[in-house]
Structure formats: C-alpha cells, structure tokens
Amino acid sequence: MKKFISLISLISTCAFAQEYQFTTPISGYLTMSAEDTVSGQSGSFQLNLSSLTEDVYLNPINLTVREVGSISYTPSASDIVITRPGATLTVSLAPAGGVLSFDTGYLPLTGSAGGQYSFNGMIPSFIGIGGSYSLVTGGQTYAGSFNYNLNALYGSEGYIGYQGLLATGYPNSIILNNPLNYERFYSPEPNPVANVTAENGLQVELELGQSGYYEICTATLPSSVTACAVPEPTSVTIGLCALGLVFFRYKVWK
C-alpha cells in the first residue's frame, strides 16, 4: 500500500508539473578562493553576476515548485597564482558550462490569498564547479584536477532567491516575487582538494574558500519576474494540465 501511495505521488509530481521559463538581469558577485595551507599563502577573484535564467516547474496538484537555474557572470581573473620560494602554484576555478548552476528541488507552496503563495526559494548550492592546479618546483610540474560544489552554510545569515509566487496568470504565466537580496556564505565541498609532495620535499595542501571554509555570494534580483509557460508537446499532457488548472484555480480562489 505504501509503495502504491508513493507511486501515485511520483506520477502526480511528474505529470502535473507545468514548466515556465524566464531570464532577467541581476547584479552581485561570488568569490572564488584558494589557499595553500602549508605556507598560508592564498588568493582569490570574483565572478561578477550578470543574468539569471530559470526553468520553473509548478505542480498545481501537490502545490510544489522547483527552480532549476543558471547564472551568467564575468570573472575578474582567470587564475589564482600563489608563489613560494622556489615554487609557483597556479589554480584555475570555473563552473561547468561557463554558468553557475543550481536546483532547489521541489518546495512546498503555502498560503493562497489572492493567488499569492510563499515558498523557501533560497539557492541551496551551486553545483558542478571544476578546478585544476599546476605546481612548478625543482624543475618539475605537478598537476591535477578536481570537481566540487558550493553548499549554503545554514548557520550563516543571509538569503538569496525568490520566496513568493503569484499564480493569477496561471496557466499561461506565473510571477516570482518577494526576493531576499542578502549576502550568503557557501562552503566548498569536498575540501581540501589536493595534497602534493614534490621530489624536492616541498609540500602543498590546496583548500578552497576563504580560510578553507567559505565563499561569499551577494546578489540583487528584480522585485518580480514573469515566467512564461513552455508549450506542452502532446495532447495527453495538455489534458493533464487542464485538470491541474481546474484544481489549482480552486486552490487559488478558495
């Protein structure tokens, strides 16, 4: 019986999720930092944020919403270079695909006064960031690569993302509103990402983040954005969305 209920829940989540899309300019930055903990030397640069693009999935039956997004940026530098006597460590850090990616997962919507809902749309993590290092010392080069995520530190203050959804335009469009534009700390994981012992005895331990602990992200989002519905490919899906429309309109105006 529990498996049957779980299957019904999965089907309703997939079948009734209407997709919406938007792109909007934003401003802010994300720090990108690295430190050789053996020498205590470090460096950093910034990703200057420029635009936010999202696919928003709204499920009117389960009253949930999911945001899958990417943020475009311009880096203030291409590499971090750390120098020590007789050694140079170069670290490259860049999100996969040239954009910062995130996925909130499905989040519950609460309240429906006049079609206005609330949800916790904080960006939980930036995923799929790649990096590489090159250590030159004693006439030898030691190189490697790694991947990591930046996960929100929930003990820190700050919040980035929308927390409101206005559904009066459903099913053709929805509005995301009530953004919180605060500074937020994100922790690199895993960490450290490299340990190297050169033939000449020089040691390097490479940690990411400021003090091997966090990166800082700050973003300013528009007060509201309109996300337009993505056309459904089949009449079956359209029929399911029509059923969702009846249910969601009832929820909105109840």
What burial class does residue 138 get, using C-beta atoms within 10 Å of its C-beta: 0-12 exposed, 13-18 middle, 19+ buried?
Answer: middle
- Is 0.75 surpassed by the pTM of this model? yes
Query: How much is the pLDDT for 248?
Result: 57
**pLDDT score for 253:** 45
- What's residue 12's pLDDT? 44
Among 8, 9, 19, CA closest to 232: 19
> What pLDDT does residue 232 have?
72
pLDDT of residue 239: 47
**Quick one: pLDDT at residue 7?**
36
Count of the separate structural domains present in the chain: 1
**How does pLDDT run along the chain (254 residues), one tens digit per residue?**
444 334 334 444 445 789 999 999 999 999 999 999 999 999 999 999 999 999 999 999 999 999 999 999 999 998 999 999 999 999 999 999 999 999 999 999 998 788 999 999 889 999 999 999 999 999 999 999 999 999 998 765 557 889 999 999 999 999 999 998 888 999 999 999 999 999 999 999 999 999 878 999 999 999 999 999 998 754 444 544 554 554 455 555 45
Range of the domain at 187: 2-253
In this prediction, residue 208 carries a pLDDT of 97
Predicted local distance difference test score (pLDDT) of residue 118? 96
